Amino acid sequence: MPAGLLGRLPFWLATLLFVFVFIALFENLFKYRDSWPVPAALLLRRLASALLQAVVVSALVTAVFRYLFLVQLP
Amino acid sequence: MLDGLHYFAAALVAFADWWPLFNIGWATLLGICVGMMPGLTATLGVALLTTLTFRMQAGDAILILVCMYVGAIYGGSRSAILLNIPGTPANAASALDGFPLARAGLAGQAMGIATLGSFLGTLIGMLFLALLAPVLAEFALKFGSFEFFWLALFGIVISGHLTALDDPLKGWIAGFLGLLVAMVGQEGIHAYQRFSYGSIDLAGGFGLLPVLVGTFGFAEVLAVMKNPAYEAVKEASDRIVPRLRDLLPYRRTIARSGVLGTFMGLIPGVGEDMGAWVSYAAARRASREQEKFGHGSVEGLLSAETGNSAAVPGAIIPVLTLAVPGSAPAAVLLAAMFIHGVRPGPLIMIEFPGFVFEVVAMILYAGLAILLFGLLLTRPLLRILTVPRERLMPVVFVLCTVGAFAIASRLFDVWVMLGFGVLGFVLREMKYPMAPLVLGVVLGPILDKNLRRGMVLSDGSLEPFLTRPISAVLALLTLIVIVLSFKSLRQTLASLLLRLLPGQR
């Protein structure tokens, strides 16, 4: 990824970070805003699920574009 | 005619193999899912899939894109019925009667009717595509630079007029903004750089796909996250497959909506939205159950869905014969055809005579696929609507970014996508329509090249633009659309007509 978007990071890491932060922020700060404070276990479960989705999306998108469509990702 | 049938039969047989059938299946299903999700439009689906299929064989890639297009326009009816939020703008009319039907516990019936309406609309549009495309292509051989210039201008003006419901001026502003965007970079005759300000990236111009992915993808992500979350009707316990005796009374509505939808699709840049609205309005005027419209009318839902689905093949007719798109998703399809080395336009029946009928066969298979998936997978497809936007939108954004980059491996395209995403979002918030903007970007080079080529041919004279018969007709049509757009001018004309024809009150 270029400087200016998410700093100089490899594409897979930038994707992982973006998806994780997006889900974590929008779920906890907006969607479930009214249910704060939430128990730590529930918050951890939500964050872990966001991280899992981020890892899967990052791995799939990177693999499909790099190895199937032969795109030289940054 | 017989040649056409021969090509059509050959295409049907060729697509009946495992690999094409597999592609038809997944692409249509994906199209239905994209259409179902509020915020994901047919244009975004076709644009993203273009970036994913550009390394495939031309035939496979175009088959996948056509299936995505047909599937997405149909899929939008699901969210219109179950959420009262049209999945794509083309399904707005379907929500008027679909949602009241769902609220009355008839969600299954409404989805069945929408499915059958879409299938029949697709078939009617397909028939017109097969019949009209060769005739129109032959007629278009008479078109020279002068006519193409007027056709491009007429496309922008009519698209701006019909898609901006409150104020045509907004439609024209969007259209001319698109034309301006298309002027950036090397021009098409002498490769002279315009508006590039010494930048190598700008000298290459704004790519159509990054612009489209931005205005329809990133802008949608922003819009979806801005709007409040939605709650879906998650149950459909009534009968889904419609009975023939329930539909037979509406056979005239189906035929009328199919024809109107196709012709609305045919008009440059107007597309499925207007196909649905015009069919819905005509059905309401002719209906014996006018009072039911807007309160759960089967006829209303049927007319809207038949109209928007018939507009899909309708919008492909000018793509194939004039290289002018009939709608925003058709604009992406046109770009994809150029990427894959198919050159649509007046010469298509000479250079690729079988291709038109291959597209007809693709549409038939896509129509059959929506019928099959629509009726068999109703309940599993309901689950799609339960995917939370917080989980879906980051994935869409990642696909927009990597899709914009993948076409030319230029980081500049990612910035273009982001810039046009923000611009598209702001314009949409101010109620500017997006279809004329896209049409402007697509038609810009056609308009520019043909204007200058025409001027070279006429030695600098503007006369042939107004005196050649087809040019004169197109110029007159453009003028009529502009004049009729202004209320005061319309009223003046009407009173003038009344004074001239006093008996015609």
**Chain A residue with Cα closest to B390:** A23
The whole-number average pLDDT for the span B448-473 is: 91
Confidence bin at A8 (pLDDT 50/70/90): confident
Confidence bin at B490 (pLDDT 50/70/90): confident
Q: What is the pLDDT of residue A19?
A: 94
Does residue B394 belong to the interface with chain A, where contact is any CB pair within 8 Å?
A: yes
Contacts of A18 in chain B (CB under 8 A): 394, 397-398
**Chain A residue with Cα closest to B53:** A69
Q: How many CA atoms lie within 13 A of B50 on its CB side?
A: 30
Contacts of A3 in chain B (CB under 8 A): none
ipTM for the predicted complex comes to 0.89
* Interval B84-137: pLDDT, tens: 777 777 888 888 888 888 888 888 888 899 999 999 999 999 999 999 998 898
CA separation (Å) from B390 to A21, B36, B84, B133, B229?
Answer: 11, 16, 20, 44, 10
Q: What is the pLDDT of residue B488?
A: 80
In this structure, is the dihedral angle defined by the CA atoms of residues B292, B296, B298 and B300, taken in order, positive or negative?
Answer: positive
Q: Given B54, B390, B405, which is nearest A23 (Cβ)?
A: B390
Which B-chain residues 484-503 have CB contacts (< 8 A) with chain A?
Answer: none
Is the Cβ pair B402, A22 closer than 8 Å?
Answer: no
* Interval A32-61: pLDDT, tens: 667 767 778 888 998 999 999 999 999 998
CA distance B395 to chain A (A): 7
CA distance A59 to chain B (A): 12
Q: Exposed, middle or buried by CB within 10 Å (0-12, 13-18, 19+), for B299? A: buried
Helix (H) / strand (E) containing B186: strand B185-186
Q: Given B55, B390, B398, which is nearest A70 (Cβ)?
A: B55
Q: Report whether pLDDT(B39) > 80.
A: no
Contacts of A12 in chain B (CB under 8 A): none
Tell me which amino acid residue B245 is. Answer: R
Can you read off the two tokens belonging to residue B265?
């699709």
Q: What is the pLDDT of residue B128?
A: 93
Does residue B198 belong to the interface with chain A, where contact is any CB pair within 8 Å?
A: no
The CA distance from B16 to B22, in Å, is: 10
Is the Cβ pair B55, A31 closer than 8 Å?
Answer: no
Q: Given A23, A26, A69, which is nearest B52 (Cβ)?
A: A69
Does residue B414 belong to the interface with chain A, where contact is any CB pair within 8 Å?
A: yes
Contacts of A27 in chain B (CB under 8 A): 388, 390
Can you read off the two tokens belonging to residue B370?
């929506």
The reply to whether omega before A37 is within 30° of 0 (cis) is yes
Does residue B141 belong to the interface with chain A, where contact is any CB pair within 8 Å?
A: no
* Interval B405-426: pLDDT, tens: 887 888 899 999 999 999 999 9
The CA distance from A59 to A49, in Å, is: 15
Q: What is the pLDDT of residue B106?
A: 84
Confidence bin at A1 (pLDDT 50/70/90): very low
Report the predicted TM-score, pTM, of the whole model to 2 decimal places: 0.84
CA distance B150 to chain A (A): 40
Is the Cβ pair A57, B398 closer than 8 Å?
Answer: yes
CA B366 to chain centroid, in Å, comes to 16
* Interval B350-365: pLDDT, tens: 888 889 999 999 999 9
Can you read off the two tokens belonging to residue B207?
């790519």
CA distance B275 to chain A (A): 36
Confidence bin at A5 (pLDDT 50/70/90): low
The full DSSP string for B362-383 is: HHHHHHHHHHHHHHHSHHHHHG
The overall average pLDDT reported for chain B is 87
The overall average pLDDT reported for chain A is 82
Confidence bin at B180 (pLDDT 50/70/90): very high
The CA distance from B446 to B499, in Å, is: 42
Q: Count Cβ atoms below 10 Å from residue B177 Cβ, excluding itself.
A: 17
* Interval B226-285: pLDDT, tens: 877 666 555 666 667 777 777 788 889 999 999 999 999 998 877 888 889 899 999 988
Mutate to test the interface with A, among B224, B398, B400 (most CBs of A within 10 A): B398
Q: What is the pLDDT of residue B501?
A: 74
Q: Which of A51-60, B77-86, B140-149, B192-201 has the lowest mean pLDDT?
A: B77-86
The CA distance from B224 to B231, in Å, is: 14
CA distance B390 to chain A (A): 6
Tell me which amino acid residue B149 is. Answer: F
Q: Given A23, A71, A74, which is nearest B391 (Cβ)?
A: A23
* Interval B164-173: pLDDT, tens: 767 888 999 9
Confidence bin at B212 (pLDDT 50/70/90): confident
Is the Cβ pair B394, A19 closer than 8 Å?
Answer: yes
Q: Report whether pLDDT(B454) > 80.
A: yes
Q: What is the pLDDT of residue B164?
A: 77
Q: Report whether pLDDT(B179) > 50.
A: yes
Q: What is the pLDDT of residue B448?
A: 92
Contacts of A26 in chain B (CB under 8 A): 225, 390
Q: DSSP letter for A3, please.
A: T
Does residue B392 belong to the interface with chain A, where contact is any CB pair within 8 Å?
A: no
Give the number of A-B residue pairs with CB atoms closer than 8 Å: 49
Question: Could you tell me which residues come within 8 angstroms of residue B386 by beta carbon, excluding any fewer than 6 positions away?
Answer: B232, B234
The CA distance from B431 to B423, in Å, is: 12
Can you read off the two tokens belonging to residue B232?
């879906």
- Find, among B341, B79, B102, the residue nearest to B230 by Cα: B79
